[in-house]
Amino acid sequence: MRNEHTPEQPLASFQVITDTHVRDESDHIHNRHLEQALADIATFSQDSSGIMHVGDVTDRGLPSEYRELQRIWKQHAESLPNIRYTVGNHDIGAVVWQDPPIVLLEMKEGEVAELLEQEADMELVTKQTAAESAALIEQLSGGTYTLSAVTSEQEGQDGGPISSEVDPITVAGLWHRRLSDFEGTTGMKGSYHDHWIDGYHYIFLGTEQPHPKDCDMSAEQLEWLDAKLSERATLDHPIFIFLHQPLMDTVAGSMKEQGWYGVNQDAELKAVLAKYPQAILFSGHTHWQLEAQHTMYDGAGHMPTMFNASSVGYLWTDQDEHLEGSEGLHVEIYKDRVVVKGRDFVAGEWIEGAEFTVRYPSVAHILG
């Protein structure tokens, strides 16, 4: 019989981080925040099933940033569990975000190779003006950018054809190059993958096009997800899903008017998830701090529970303002519940008011 004064121990635990936005300067604040986060996680992650990264691993998807990620990880790896990664739009998108942004689909294939493989001069690789960059950001914020064309006849941002003298890289070519860089450093295979760890299923989803901002999922990925969710599925056994962009009108920052939801197949993905209310989905992308409203979305009676995992690199507020800081989640799995706790990595403290409990079986009202 268990001693009444002995705290109940979780069956398993793991950590969730996202939006590290690693840069190629070792003393950049994003990099320092990641170092602090990993050092802090090492203090409470004994027997952890792993660290789950929800995307935007790097800020621009450059090889120098991946090298810096490897440097930071190697410094802490011995005291940490394994880490698994989700693709983010900054890692594999069609834009290298800087001032001004570089639109990769407006560049020749050789220029893209030079930028992504050799980190050549940034001045060389874009004809875009500051005004055009501002227009691009406004366009992406409205969610209107599409990547449907994949030939040299591809349309430009203004709806007209890109000049034939530019001979831009195709979407397929860009996607292969960007995803290969991501896979080579993280060890992940493809933009979606799954893992059984300590008896629990961890499923990672991701875009299959280099969209600058959103996630574009194929019908094949949705079918794969449905099949994976059904594996050994029982209503009292949680399944954990990781996707960089949140679904619309769910967690913090994803409200329609806020504009930071970002799955093009929003309705289709929700239809699959609705069949598995025991799932818990973690997303990033919005950077919304854990003290904001809607860190947890309870499913509203017809969907799985979802969590905003905040950001390691920098934070955002309900007042639509940038906030310096670094946060993530610690997840504990018990027989009848999952407990999710917010962590301030800079202070090395639990965040007051950011502790949530999902109880199992939690789905009787959905089924009955």
Mean pLDDT by 10 residues, the chain (368 residues): 74 98 97 98 97 98 97 98 98 92 91 76 41 53 45 34 57 95 97 98 98 97 98 96 98 94 97 97 98 95 96 96 97 97 98 96 47
pTM equals 0.88
283: β partners: 243, 308
pLDDT at position 3, please? 57
Is the separation of the CB atoms in 355 and 340 below 8 Å? yes
Distances (CA, A) of 312 to 70, 143, 257: 16, 25, 24
Distance CA 334, CA 19 (A): 28
Place of tokens 């940033």: 65
DSSP state, residue 277? T
pLDDT at position 164, please? 36
Give CA torsion, residues 239, 244, 250, 254, to 10 deg.
170
pLDDT at position 99, please? 85
pLDDT at position 168, please? 81
pLDDT at position 63, please? 95
SS (H, E, C) 232-271: CCCCCCCEEEEECCCCCCCCCCCCCCCCCCCECCHHHHHH
Handedness of CA 124, 126, 131, 134 (dihedral sign): negative
pLDDT at position 7, please? 87
Phi, psi of 17 (to 5 degrees): -125, 160
